[in-house]
Structure formats: C-alpha cells, structure tokens
Amino acid sequence: MLFSNVCSNLCTLRFWPALYWKFNHNHSHSHLLNHLQLPQHQQQHSSCPTCSCNCPPPPSLLQIAPGLVNLTVPDCGSSDPDLKKEMAKQFVDLLTEELKLQEGVAAEHAQHMNVTISEARRAASQYQREADKCVAATETCEGARERSEALLRKEMKLTSLWERRAHKLGWEGE
C-alpha cells in the first residue's frame, strides 16, 4: 500500500508537467480552431510550425527529493511480524477474512436481537397478566356495584313503603 502510494506520487511529480503542457497545448490549439470557424481547407493550412525550444529538462527525482534515494521501500515494515503477515495475504484471503468478520458481526447482532425480543415477550406477558388481574378486579367491582345498586333500590322502595304507612298512621316527620 505504501509502496504503491510512493510510486504513484513519484510518477505524478516526474511526468505531470509534460503531460499537463501537452494536454493543455493540444486542447487550446483545437479549441481555437473550433472557435475561429475557418473553412475546412484553411483549417488544414493554419497549423503552427513545430517549435524548437531550448527548455531545460524537468528536474530529476534526485533534485526534487534527495532524501528519497536512501528510502528502502521494499524493506518497509519487514521488522514488524504482524504487518509482514498482513501484507503477505492474498486478495481472496482478505475477502474471506472480511466475510468472516461480517458474519461474526451479523451473528452477534442476531443474538442481541433475539435476547431483546425474548425480553420484550417476557415483559409483554407480564403486562398481560397484570391487565388480566385488573380486568378481573374491575369485573368483581362492577358486579358488587350492580348488586349494591339493586339492594339500594330495594331498600328505598321498602323505606318509601314504611314512610307512607307512617304518614297514614299520623306520623309527621321529615
């Protein structure tokens, strides 16, 4: 990984100015021809003559970074056994290891979900039992209330009957 990054950066530093100049020069030349809208036969004769330039050569790697010459990239990490082992693995081995790790994470996630679901079911069962107790208590209370109302009506009728009899016999109470 480090070696490919270093190589990529070195190649970019070494060849980028020449590629940039060539692309930019060709692009701007064709761009100018397209914008001039010259007839086809004039476009062929209007090409610039080749330029003889006395440009200095691009700087070498030694001139850009003299310290890189002493850098031993192939030996990078050779003293670390874990890194050496990791770098020696093949792509398929790395993919297999990644899949195993993902399977392990998925298994842990599934186990956590199962535990959470069982706890939720247990709590729901407990709440259902409490609700059943409340319903039974409410039904008992309703039954007692209905019986009390019936007894109260009966007592009120009986009280009313005794009051009428007492009034007939001359009682002048409330």
- Same domain for 130 and 174, yes or no, is yes
Q: What domain count does the chain have?
A: 2
Portion of the chain with pLDDT greater than 70, in percent: 61
Please report, as a single letter, which amino acid is at residue 82: D
Taking only the tens place, the pLDDT of each residue in 13-60 is 555 555 555 555 555 445 444 544 444 544 444 566 676 677 777 777
Q: What is the pLDDT of residue 95?
A: 86
In a domain, 52, yes or no: no
Q: What is the pLDDT of residue 80?
A: 80
pLDDT tops 50 at residue 167:
yes
pLDDT tops 50 at residue 121:
yes
Q: Can you read off the two tokens belonging to residue 81?
A: 């056994």
Mean pLDDT of the chain: 77
- Same domain for 69 and 134, yes or no, is no
Q: What is the pLDDT of residue 46?
A: 53
- In order of 63, 115, 118, the CA distances from 108 in angstroms are 55, 11, 15
Q: What is the pLDDT of residue 54?
A: 75
Angstrom distance (rounded) from CA 26 to CA 79: 49
Higher pLDDT, 64 or 70: 64
In a domain, 88, yes or no: no
Higher pLDDT, 136 or 52: 136
- Same domain for 142 and 74, yes or no, is no
- Same domain for 125 and 168, yes or no, is yes
Q: Measure the CA angle with vertex 26, ends 25 and 30; round to 5°.
A: 120
In a domain, 15, yes or no: yes
Region for residue 146 given its phi and psi (left: phi exceeds 0; alpha: psi -120 to 50; beta: otherwise): alpha
Question: Domain range spanning residue 11?
Answer: 1-36+60-78
Q: What is the pLDDT of residue 38?
A: 46
In a domain, 46, yes or no: no
Of 10-14, 58-62, 63-67, 117-121, the range with the lowest mean pLDDT is 10-14
Q: Can you read off the two tokens belonging to residue 119?
A: 């706890």
pLDDT tops 60 at residue 158:
yes
pLDDT tops 70 at residue 92:
yes
In a domain, 41, yes or no: no
